[in-house]
Structure 1
Amino acid sequence: MLKVNESDFEFRFGDHGPKYLLKGPNVDIGIVVLKPGQDFQNHYHTTCEEVFYILEGSIDYYINNQRVSVQQGDLIQCAPGDTHYLINQSNTNFKALFIKSPHIKERDVVEVENPIIE
């Protein structure tokens, strides 16, 4: 059994970006926050599936360079190899729970060029 609290962990970029609440042994779980105007580099995972459940706000995901607008209550599933880019073009904060499975010890992220936004 493990119990944690979100306030015990820090965001990667100070007050935004991802923060992991759990890393392994079978799954990784965390929170991602993007403020208005912020984005998160386009990337994909070679092995992991990643699921996002939107807790607050709205945002544009670009899944394999296709725009997908999401809002609170939506869920996005990215298979291994699906590129995903997030950009908050709204005027409110965005917050989502993310789950990556399976947990692997080595880095499973490949960064790629951001999509062209028209």
Structure 2
Amino acid sequence: MKKVNESDFDYRFGDNGPKYLTKGPNVDIGVVVLKPGQDFPNHYHTTCEEIFYILEGEIDFYINDDRVPAKPGDMIQCRPHDSHYLINTSSQNFKAVFVKSPHIGENDSVVIDKPKIN
């Protein structure tokens, strides 16, 4: 079990950018903030997928060069090798939770009995 509070961690660029709340061993979770006019470099991951859940503001994602506008309540999933670029063209701060799940090299499924259905 692990419990942390967002206020215990720093953003990469002072008051914006990503900040990790936990790293590994199976998943990374954090938050990212971009202020109006800011962007985050286009990149992709070779083995993990990254999921963003938008909390505040609006943002333009470019997934494999296609524009994907996102607003609070939206979820964006980037699979391995999906390039993703974020730019805040709005007048409000953007904030999202991100989850990065690394590649697991073995089958981690566990088969259990079917539930009893009445």
Question: Which TM-score band applies after superposition, normalised by the shorter structure?
Answer: 0.7 to 0.9
- Of structures 1 and 2, the one scoring higher in RCO (CA 8 A, sep 6+) is 1
Q: Point out where structure 2 has 5 or more consecutive residues left out of the alignment.
A: 105-118
2:42 match: secondary structure: strand
What TM-score, normalized by structure 1, do the two folds share?
0.86
- What is the rounded CA distance, in whole Å, between the counterparts of 2:30 and 2:78 in structure 1? 15
Larger Rg: 2
Identity %: 76
| Large movers: runs of 4+ above 6 Å | none
Q: Which amino acid aligns with 2:5?
A: N
More strand by share: 1
- What is the rounded CA distance, in whole Å, between the counterparts of 2:102 and 2:39 in structure 1? 25
Corresponding pairs, count = 104
What TM-score, normalized by structure 2, do the two folds share?
0.86
Q: Which amino acid aligns with 1:51?
A: I
CA contact (8 A) 2:58 2:88 kept: yes
- What is the RMSD computed on CA atoms of the aligned residues? 1.1
2:44 match: secondary structure: strand
